[in-house]
A and B are shown apart, each in its own frame.
Chain A
Amino acid sequence: GAVVSQHPSWVICKSGTSVKIECRSLDFQATTMFWYRQFPKQSLMLMATSNEGSKATYEQGVEKDKFLINHASLTLSTLTVTSAHPEDSSFYICSARSQGSYEQYFGPGTRLTVT
């Protein structure tokens, strides 16, 4: 199956700082990448969808100025959490799909803790 990596796998930062999370498709070209967040014992919540070279589309209630998404190449998307606060602590997961395909392949996730 297709492989998606995320970096870092775990990050702790102080309140008010920014954190960047990288998502890479290792063996296919990702036309579309998705960013999700997941709270303990809950299902995945879609935050935004990004197509390569285009601005991301954010779900209702997700602050686009707080969660900056860049999808500059067919293998890399980044999520930057700006001015992080403790309530932003969560598990962030990206997924990717290739053109013409409905299957999404997920990264291993990034655990963000804001102190």
Chain B
Amino acid sequence: QKEVEQDPGPLSVPEGAIVSLNCTYSNSAFQYFMWYRQYSRKGPELLMYTYSSGNKEDGRFTAQVDKSSKYISLFIRDSQPSDSATYLCAMPHSGYALNFGKGTSLLVTP
């Protein structure tokens, strides 16, 4: 079993919709949780970074962590075509290297 599981999609939504992206993980030692956005042929861009359980909001983005369920989510409000990208969840393990999910491909249609 991979340590981080993420549905690869693709996920297609109309512009303005609320998008929910999710990951599950198996290692209860994970404490830090990150979401990256990657456009095609570009490096990943750090979107959100949370520590332990709870919510964190930044503009249209909300990251949510439920450590009891080993489940993290990224919500995007008022989605825009420019949000079309692959979203990767990631958790650092010892040595600081990141465990990545496979990434969810999101398409927001005008």
Contacts and interface: CB of A to CB of B under 8 A. Distances in A.
Interface of A: 1, 4, 6, 32, 34, 42-44, 46, 49, 57, 91, 93, 95, 97, 102-109, 111
B95 interface: yes
28 contacts: A4-B43, A6-B43, A34-B97, A34-B98, A42-B102, A43-B100, A43-B102, A44-B44, A44-B88, A46-B97, A46-B98, A49-B96, A49-B97, A93-B44, A103-B46, A104-B34, A104-B46, A104-B90, A104-B92, A104-B96, A104-B98, A105-B46, A106-B36, A106-B43, A106-B44, A106-B46, A108-B43, A111-B41
B56 to A, nearest CB: 13
A4 B97 CA distance: 17
Given A42-B102, A57-B95, A103-B46, 10 more contacts: A49-B96, A95-B43, A102-B49, A103-B34, A104-B90, A104-B96, A104-B98, A106-B44, A106-B46, A109-B41
A10 B101 CA distance: 26
Contacts, number: 55
Nearest to A57: B95
Interface residues of B, number: 21
* Interface residues of A, dominant DSSP: strand
A74 to B, nearest CB: 15
Nearest to B51: A102
A104 B103 CA distance: 17
A106 B100 CA distance: 14
